[in-house]
Amino acid sequence: MKPNALIIRTAGINCDKETEFAFNSAGAKTDLKHISYVKEKSKLSDYQIICIPGGFSYGDDLGAGKIFSLELLCWLKDQLKAFIEKGGLILGICNGFQVLVKTGILPDLDFKQKVTLTDNDSDRFEDRWVYLKVVSENIWLKGLPEMINLPIAHGEGKFYTERSILDKIESKSQVALRYVDSSLNPAGYPFNPNGSLNDIAGITDASGRVLGVMPHPERNMFEHHSPFWREEKVVPFGRVFFENAVDYFM
């Protein structure tokens, strides 16, 4: 049986179709629904995978992902908690990552915001391909090599939190991806495009089933998506994220 994947969109989300294509390509049965439809007619218990895709929900007018996160907390909090506790997978990409941290689903499922993704140190929108170190082999990242490359496109991607929270995330191995240079070394701008603490590009919850990432795996589904495809053999690393999610339920 194909797992059911729910992709939730709202005003300003602009990567929903690409994300739907990615899950379909990986073998999932997908539903792309507006948040208004979801809160009135959908049951999250009907799905195995939920994804909040990238974009600029509600124009990021009160901060990236803030209004979307409030909708989830007001209307779907109990369903989300039950969904995660029953073993469902959640992926937040870029704006979706911002939503997950502002709902308090990441880093802990307590619905209390402990971390944020704030303005890039460059004080401008960054749109480039980055090198990433795969730090933990969780459900989503299974089988990936130590270094991958994916595109980023964001203005508020700097991972920031209190030192005590950062130390806890590190100690519990919840860091999923770090920005690095082409030799896997920690590096400053532009390799770390936003100034994230500890070069963090993505984190998981303690179980590894909930993943938030600033890079866009749905934009690396084919070899020719890579800017290096004419010069060298490349691997569409983004495809692996979605295939792993589907394989988890097969």
Active-site annotation, residues? 94, 216, 218
Q: Which of 116, 109, 112, 52 is nearest to 83 (CA)?
A: 109
Q: Is 24 helix (H, G, I), strand (E, B) or coil?
A: helix
Could you tell me which residues are beta bridge partners of residue 133? 147, 178
Q: In what order do the strands lie in the sheet with 4-9?
A: 29-34, 4-9, 49-52, 89-93, 210-213, 200-204, 175-180, 126-134, 147-154
Q: Which DSSP helix (H) or strand (E) runs through 29?
A: strand 29-34
Q: Identify the bridge partners of residue 200 per DSSP, sorted by sequence position.
A: 178
Cβ 209 vs Cβ 249: under 8 Å? no
Is residue 219 within 8 Å of 151, Cβ to Cβ? yes
